[in-house]
Structure 1
Amino acid sequence: MTDFTLNELTELLRTCSGDPEEGVDLGTESVLDTPFLELGYDSLALLQVTNVINRERGIGLSDDAVAEAETPRMLLAVVNSVLATEAGR
Structure 2
Amino acid sequence: MPAHEFTIDDLKRILREGAGADEGVNLDGEITDTDFESLGYESLAMLETGGRIEREFGVTLDDDTLTEAKTPRALIEAVNALLVPAEIG
Normalising by the residue count of structure 1, what TM-score does the alignment of the two structures yield? Answer: 0.85
Q: Distance in 2 between matches of 1:33 and 1:20?
A: 17
SS at match of 1:80: helix
* 2:4 corresponds to: 2
Q: Distance in 1 between matches of 2:23 and 2:78?
A: 24
Q: Distance in 2 between matches of 1:8 and 1:47?
A: 16
* 2:57 corresponds to: 57
Q: Distance in 1 between matches of 2:7 and 2:86?
A: 19
Cα distance, 1:20 vs structure 2: 2.8
Cα distance, 1:79 vs structure 2: 0.5
Which structure is higher in helix share?
Answer: 1
Aligned residues: 85
Normalising by the residue count of structure 2, what TM-score does the alignment of the two structures yield? Answer: 0.85
Counting aligned pairs with the same residue, the percent is 41
Compute the RMSD of aligned alpha carbons. 1.6
Unaligned runs of 5+ in 1: none
> Retained in 2: the 8 A contact 1:32–1:71?
yes
Unaligned runs of 5+ in 2: none
* 1:72 corresponds to: 72
Higher Cα radius of gyration: 2
SS at match of 2:46: helix
Matched, 1:40 2:43: no
Higher relative contact order (CA 8 A, sep 6+): 2
Matched, 1:81 2:81: yes
The residue identity in structure 2 corresponding to 1:87 is P
